[in-house]
Amino acid sequence: MRDRQACVWEFRGRSCKVLLGRSALRDIMKMAVMALPHETGGTLAGRYSDDSRVAEVTRALAAPKGAPAGKTWFVRPSDDEDPALHQLFLRSKGQIRYIGEWHTHPGGILAPSRRDVATLQDLAISSEVASDTPILLLIGGDIACKPGLACFLFDGQNYSVGRPSVSPPGDVGGMASRLAKRVRHLLGLKLVL
């Protein structure tokens, strides 16, 4: 059964679109809130339509434990094989595969940094990566209360900005706020950004 879509971005110049499932969005928001006030990121997995014009993101995987991160930076680990992604690929009989990366900019703008651009351009030309047009999903702004989402499509030279045709559900901010409160309560912490 397919997941309901939380967001859809269209890339009109390329005649393609990216669909983000609700469960993938929920997983991203949990990981983003847990990492506050630091940046975090991970891998996007999913499937492509037969004509490769639609990328459906069905899973969001966490970065490996210990991935270097700070309040305004996150370092994507090397291109070593991701065991979680490999298991998804095997269990789905090759249907679920690498689609791209997700990354947070807490309190920041929804635009890729120079490091983000360089990383995704390198991924686009890498023979080790299963996509020559990886996607970058950015989560920024006030992640704990009113997060923003943006989607970018990279090739070896350039990137395109997706235009939302289906915006995130209105409860994304509420979901993030509830998660942040639950995490603070469980950890006995005050959230300071």
Q: Average pLDDT for residues 90-101, to the nearest whole number?
A: 89
> In the prediction, which pLDDT does 41 show?
94
pLDDT band for position 179 (50/70/90)?
low
pLDDT at 42 over 70: yes
Q: Describe the crossing of helices 22-35 and 172-187 by its angle, rounded to 10 degrees.
A: 40
- What SS3 state is found at 17? strand
Q: Span 64-92, mean pLDDT?
A: 82
Residues 6+ apart with CB under 8 A from 149: 7, 20, 110, 137, 138, 139, 164, 168, 172
pLDDT value for 125: 83
Rounded mean pLDDT of the chain?
83
- Give all domains of the chain, ordered by start, each with its CATH number: 5-187 (3.40.140.10)
The predicted-structure confidence for 129-141, as pLDDT tens digits, reads as follows: 777 788 999 999 9
pLDDT higher than threshold 90 for residue 40:
yes
Predicted confidence at residue 172, as pLDDT, reads 55
Identify the H or E element spanning 140: strand 135-142
Give per-residue pLDDT as tens, 160-175.
999 998 766 555 545 5
% of residues, the chain, pLDDT over 70? 82
pTM above 0.75, yes or no: yes
